[in-house]
Amino acid sequence: MTKMITDDLIEKFKDFLINEEKASATLEKYMRDIKAFFCWTSGLPIDKKQVLRYKEYLINKFAPASVNSVLSSLNSFFEFNNWYEMKVRTLKIQKQIFAQKDKELSKAEYERLLDAAKAKSNERLYLLMQTICSSGIRVSELQFITVEAIKIGKATINCKGKMRIVILPGELCRMLTRYAKIQNITNGSVFVTKTGKPLDRSTIWKMMKALCKSAKVSEYKVFPHNLRHLFARTFYSLQKDIVRLADILGHSSVNTTRIYTMETGEIHRRQIQKLGLLRL
């Protein structure tokens, strides 16, 4: 049975997601995935076979996790329209037990990024990276780093209907207070555009990528979320308290937090070599 995707159906699905109080980043992703599929079909009627062909197209072009992410968006759209027969299975992915060294940002590389931002006189980015890396917040939560928050040393994060308190280091608050005063930011978000709007994810991503060459850091390691990962690994290496870390990161499941504390295979190799179970 064929179905027809229309601009009207896409807009109705968008309204549904808004009413479901989906985060703006999630909303953008769903819309991007559905519109990409719509363009791939050239606006013609679709059936299950065509959806399966698109799945194969994705498999040949993207990593398994990315494929599943797109399929999840499409399946949600199909469910919304009661097109249950159009839904396709996601890929089965073996659980990853080691972090990928080529994508893991080290503390030394982080410091080189800070030096590069400072050399470019980009104090906003210099402080923004430190804010994420010293508090562990998500890039989407930067809007809650406000003048009011730095005055009391803690930010109230309200994301996806969940609220939590994030403690801000004293020295960070002092640096942000000085910055806000110089920029004449008297209230609201500290990290804003020239028009006063909070910086969005794509803008921050582009600013960080611009540092790669001068900082001599692989561009595959440089993106906002990797700063959050560095915070998590550093905290866990010192405290060894994954439950507390889950609370700080705002995770509802410790299993999610384990992804952040994954060690590289090389670290694991060094650890087992110290067991002394080999006769040399």
**pLDDT of 264:** 54
Least confident piece of the model among 37-46, 141-150, 232-241, 264-273: 264-273
**pLDDT of 158:** 85
Domain boundaries, the chain: 7-86, 101-268
Average pLDDT, the chain: 90
Number of alpha carbons in the 13 Å side-chain half-sphere of residue 79:
9
- State the architecture of 7-86 in CATH terms: Orthogonal Bundle (1.10)
The Cα–Cα gap between 114 and 116 comes to: 5
Decide if 7-86 and 101-268 have a common fold.
no
Answer positive or negative: Cα dihedral of 47, 52, 53, 55.
positive
CATH of segment(s) 101-268: 1.10.443.10
Q: What are phi and psi of 23, to 5 degrees?
A: -65, 150
The Cα–Cα gap between 55 and 52 comes to: 5
Mean pLDDT across 11-31: 91
- pLDDT tens-digit profile of 51-103? 999 999 999 999 888 999 999 999 999 999 999 999 999 998 766 655 566 78
- pLDDT tens-digit profile of 145-182? 999 999 999 999 987 667 899 999 999 999 999 999 99
- pLDDT tens-digit profile of 182-232? 999 999 999 999 999 999 999 999 999 999 999 999 999 999 999 999 999
Mean pLDDT across 4-20: 94
Q: Which residue has the higher pLDDT, 267 or 24?
A: 24
Residue 274 CA: distances (Å) to CA of 130, 197, 238: 35, 52, 20
Q: Report if pTM > 0.85.
A: no
Q: Which residues contact 173 (CB under 8 A, 6 or more apart)?
A: 150, 151, 153
Q: What single-letter amino acid sits at 278? A: L
**pLDDT of 93:** 77
Express as a percent the part of the chain with pLDDT over 70: 92
